[in-house]
């Protein structure tokens, strides 16, 4: 059975002190579990403080983005080797806010995935449709196209490292989550694409998170879906109690 993976995407929130406090509060209450992974993804400037706060705990460190080159004249960018140096194990790549606000293309996202894999960072690759795309019945095509571009040319060994996150853009930060059935439909589609492109074993092992207005109140029903392997949590990850309640939902589903 696939592990569950709950990750908090703090986005551009918290102060340094708040970040360390939130990280400590989460770390102190997440216990070791061989089938549950928990990670927090703070803003770049607070990675070190958060890394210190969670050191020795079962909570892993993730970044929200990286640049596709390892070093050089790229003013303002942060590289994969820097993130590894700070203790990151995960890196979100291709979040919809980067696609739609910061203008990242499928090609840029593909290069970032390669850069993360090159240094042993596990990319959490986000895909998801806009509301007009869903309304036009294009969800599966949009997700397939984003995913195909993300994994283009990746070897089976490389693709086997990825975590995927289905995040319908209309559900992010809106309080309107996808229904468990809507999430399951897309997640199973994603798994089928992986099976067709690689094989059933790789597809069966790949962790696919759902993201978009996940909170304690809807986490159980989403995580109970057979192809929903975790959650990428934005707003609700900024409060320790709420985030820990989502982690607890993951544990409940595992122990069912």
The residues of the shown chain that bind ligand PGA, judged by CB under 6 A, are 9, 167, 172-173, 211-214, 232-236
The answer to whether 1 and 28 have CB atoms below 8 angstroms apart is: no
User: Closest CB to ligand PGA among 27 and 233?
Assistant: 233
Q: Is 185 a catalytic residue?
A: no
Which residue in the list 104, 167, 184, 242 is annotated as catalytic? 167
CB of 172 to ligand PGA, least distance (A): 4
Q: Give DSSP secondary structure letters for 26-77.
A: HHTT----TTEEEEEE--GGGHHHHHHHHTTSSEEEEES--BSSSSSS-TT-
End-to-end CA distance of the chain: 13
Of the listed 95, 97, 104, 187, which one is catalytic? Answer: 95
| Shortest spacing between CB 195 and ligand PGA, in angstroms | 25
Q: 45: closest CA among 67, 63, 26, 24?
A: 63
Query: At closest approach, how far in Å is the CB of 72 from ligand PGA?
Result: 29
Would the CA dihedral through 138, 142, 145, 147 be positive or negative? negative
- Residue closer to ligand PGA by CB (options 18, 69) is 18
Are the C-beta atoms of residues 62 and 124 closer than 8 Å to each other?
Answer: yes
What's the rounded Cα separation, in Å, for the pair 8 and 107?
Answer: 26
**Separation between Cα atoms, residue 151 and residue 197, nearest integer Å:** 9
Give the whole-angstrom CA distance, residue 184 versus residue 186: 5
HSE of 128, CA atoms in CB hemisphere, 13 A: 31
Nearer to ligand PGA, 42 or 212 (CB): 212
- Between 59 and 126, name the residue whose CB sits nearer to ligand PGA: 126
Taking CB atoms, the residue at the shortest distance from ligand PGA is 234
- Provide, rounded to whole angstroms, the least separation between the CB of residue 231 and ligand PGA: 8
The CA distance from 101 to 253, in Å, is 35
Nearest distance from C-beta of residue 65 to ligand PGA, angstroms: 12
What is the number of residues in the chain? Answer: 256
Active site residue 55: no
Name which of 46 and 166 has its Cβ closer to ligand PGA: 166
CB of 233 to ligand PGA, least distance (A): 5
Question: Can you tell me the distance from the alpha carbon of 247 to that of 35, in angstroms, rounded to the nearest whole number?
Answer: 12
Nearer of residues 36 and 232 to ligand PGA, judged by Cβ: 232
Active site residues: 95, 167
């Amino acid at each position: 059975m696939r592990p569950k993976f709950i990750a908090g995407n703090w986005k551009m929130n918290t102060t340094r002190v708040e970040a360390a406090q939130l990280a400590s509060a989460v770390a102190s209450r997440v216990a070791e579990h061989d089938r549950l992974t928990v990670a927090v993804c703070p803003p770049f400037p607070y990675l070190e403080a958060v890394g210190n706060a969670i050191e020795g705990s079962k909570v892993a460190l993730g970044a929200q983005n990286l640049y596709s080159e390892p070093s050089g004249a790229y003013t303002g960018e942060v590289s994969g080797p820097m993130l590894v140096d700070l203790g990151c194990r995960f890196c979100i790549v291709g979040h919809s806010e980067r696609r739609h606000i910061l203008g990242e293309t499928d090609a840029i996202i593909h290069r970032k995935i390669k850069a993360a894999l090159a240094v042993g960072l596990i990319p959490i690759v986000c895909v998801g449709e806009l509301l007009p795309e869903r309304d036009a019945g294009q969800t599966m095509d949009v997700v397939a196209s984003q995913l195909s571009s993300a994994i283009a040319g990746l070897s089976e060994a490389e693709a086997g490292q990825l975590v995927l996150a289905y995040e319908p853009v209309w559900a992010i930060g809106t309080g309107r989550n996808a229904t468990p059935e809507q999430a399951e439909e897309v997640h199973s589609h994603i798994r089928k694409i992986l099976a067709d492109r690689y094989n059933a074993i790789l597809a069966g092992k790949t962790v696919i998170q759902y993201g978009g207005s996940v909170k304690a109140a809807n986490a159980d029903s989403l995580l109970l879906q057979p192809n929903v392997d975790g959650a990428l949590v934005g707003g609700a990850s900024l409060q320790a109690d709420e985030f820990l309640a989502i982690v607890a939902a993951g544990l409940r589903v595992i122990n069912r």
